[in-house]
Amino acid sequence: MKTTLLKGCTILTMREGEQPFAGDILIEGERIAGVAPVIDREADEVIDARGMAAMPGLINAHNHAAMCLMRGFSDDLKLMDWLEKKMLPAEARMTEEDIYWGTLLAAAEMIRSGTTAFADMYVCMDAVGQAVLDSGMRASLTRGLVFLQDDGGKRMQEGIDLVEKWSGAGDGRITTMFGPHAPYTCPPEPLREVIALARERRVPIHIHLAETIEETVKLRDKYGQTPTEYLYQLGLFDHHHVLLAHAVHLTRRDIGYLRGMRGGVAHNPVSNLKLGCGIAPVTDLLAQGITVGLGTDGAGSATTLDMFAEIKAATWLQKLDYGDPTRLPAEQVLRMATIESAKLLGIDHEVGTLETGKKADLILIDLDKPHLQPVHNIASLIAYGAQGGDVDTVFVNGRMLMRRRELLTLSWEEIKKQAAKRAARLVQGL
């Protein structure tokens, strides 16, 4: 088994209550074999990590990776106009190959900005799975299910096929969920069916919830319920694991329905800001013991997949919304981007903190930059100062995916060429 020793870094383990310290990290095969002030032993490869901060890889808890092909194509619109007039028509032209290359473009961006795992909801999930295998990343894959037209069960079958074919693939790097898209695209009958199926097979569920005021109005007009009440009454929150994307528009009673749920909420602040959706009540959810992680949503709305931008937006929004700078402090928001997101993907037993025995998904951040000096408080510096471009080295499952900012599993030149060609075709005339 290959061993790699990272020497002399500042380590943020992200374990609750543990202070950062200077030390070494030993990687043995897929796993972390030691995290300590000094590890004095031989290794196949020794990396001089002085001047670097080591932390768990960032985990993007809600994404539509292949939407990178629509990055910057249509902005400054309301969500429903953006989705129905721009994204859906472009997506209707997408081939499996487009989705493969779009997902690789996302993987290149994610690795280069320190993300090691992501939760993805999209279509043609064989193409997404293949891109995850090829990139070396870790992912939870979901076939998004929109039930507005009858298709004789085809979509649902694709969701089942994904679960059967891809769960545990890539040496366990890939896990799966069922993905009813949102309350406004999933009427009660098919939604009940998905929940029953997920229960039978013990598969988690990934769904958008309460992203806009328009969604609340739609659900009230149709069912006389808030989006959260609608899902609650269908029994969704009794499920063993539910990943809710957004959860922006929640009443006090809605938050009560979520209390005690297993899984939690993926907060996507940049997408919410850009689409003018609102501010999710993150600190209220946390106060009720609800797990909250961080995601980007697709690059079609967020523009970039840089989790450091989400970290900043998340903490700033809570401070601003409550007029209280003590809300969502640095360590807490960094935990949201790592171990709390890992909980949402159901992989916190394997990743999300740096500790012996866990899978070696970790990043080195180069602090030798004007905006990252001096180092008074490393957690503050990273949460409020670091950017994706500061990430120097990335490991997933013990394998190096980037070293000194060079991608080791992906050909950037080929991805760039493929993405440009395909993106132009998708949006032509729209």
Cα 94 to Cα 89: distance, rounded to the nearest angstrom: 9
Minimum distance from residue 327 beta carbon to Zn ion (Å) = 25
Minimum distance from residue 149 beta carbon to ligand LTUXU72L (Å) = 13
Q: Which is nearer to ligand LTUXU72L, 187 or 256 (CB)?
A: 187
* 93 annotated among ligand-binding-site residues: no
92: Cβ–Cβ under 8 A, 6 or more apart, which residues? none
Q: Residue 206: which of Zn ion, ligand LTUXU72L, none does it interact with, CB under 5 to 8 A by kind?
A: none
Minimum distance from residue 374 beta carbon to ligand LTUXU72L (Å) = 39
* 208 annotated among ligand-binding-site residues: yes
Q: Find out whether 173 and 139 touch, Cβ atoms under 8 Å.
A: yes
Contacts 24+ apart (CB under 8 A), 327-330: 327/283, 328/282, 328/283, 330/377, 330/379, 330/380, 330/382, 330/383, 330/384
The residue among 281, 229, 218 whose CA lies nearest residue 79 is: 218
* 91 annotated among ligand-binding-site residues: yes
Cα 163 to Cα 155: distance, rounded to the nearest angstrom: 13
Q: Count of residues for the chain?
A: 430
Does 98 bind Zn ion (CB under 5 A)? Our answer is: no
* 252 annotated among ligand-binding-site residues: no
Q: Which amino acid is at 302?
A: A
Could you list the residues that contact ligand LTUXU72L (CB under 6 A)?
Answer: 64, 83, 87, 91, 121-123, 144, 146, 181-182, 208, 211, 271, 297-298, 301
Interacting span for Zn ion (CB under 5 A) from 149-157, 164-172, 289-297, 394-402: 289-297
Phi-psi region of 171 (alpha: psi -120 to 50; beta: other; left: phi over 0): left
Task: Report how far apart the first and last C-alpha atoms of the chain are (Å, whole number).
Answer: 52
Minimum distance from residue 288 beta carbon to ligand LTUXU72L (Å) = 24
Q: Find out whether 364 and 53 touch, Cβ atoms under 8 Å.
A: yes
* 181 annotated among ligand-binding-site residues: yes
Cα 247 to Cα 268: distance, rounded to the nearest angstrom: 9
Q: Residue 111: which of ligand LTUXU72L, Zn ion, none does it interact with, CB under 5 to 8 A by kind?
A: none
Minimum distance from residue 297 beta carbon to Zn ion (Å) = 4
Q: Give how far Cα 191 sits from Cα of 155, 200, 222, 269, Å.
A: 13, 14, 15, 27
* 297 annotated among ligand-binding-site residues: yes
Q: Say how many C-beta atoms besides its own lie within 10 A of residue 279's C-beta.
A: 18
Q: Give how far Cα 356 sits from Cα of 4, 102, 394, Å.
A: 14, 35, 18
Q: Residue 299: which of ligand LTUXU72L, Zn ion, none does it interact with, CB under 5 to 8 A by kind?
A: none
Q: Which is nearer to ligand LTUXU72L, 113 or 272 (CB)?
A: 272
Q: Which amino acid is at 300?
A: G
Q: Which is nearer to Zn ion, 30 or 91 (CB)?
A: 91
Does 229 bind Zn ion (CB under 5 A)? Our answer is: no
Token output for 284: 């209220």
Q: Residue 306: which of ligand LTUXU72L, Zn ion, none does it interact with, CB under 5 to 8 A by kind?
A: none
Q: Residue 181: which of Zn ion, ligand LTUXU72L, none does it interact with, CB under 5 to 8 A by kind?
A: ligand LTUXU72L
Which member of 297, 350, 366, 392 binds Zn ion (CB under 5 A)?
297
Q: Which is nearer to ligand LTUXU72L, 211 or 361 (CB)?
A: 211
* 120 annotated among ligand-binding-site residues: no
Minimum distance from residue 267 beta carbon to ligand LTUXU72L (Å) = 13
Cα 67 to Cα 264: distance, rounded to the nearest angstrom: 24
The residues of the shown chain that bind Zn ion, judged by CB under 5 A, are 297
Binding-site members for substrate are 91, 143, 181, 211, 297
Could you tell me which residues are annotated as the binding site?
62, 64, 91, 143, 181, 208, 211, 297
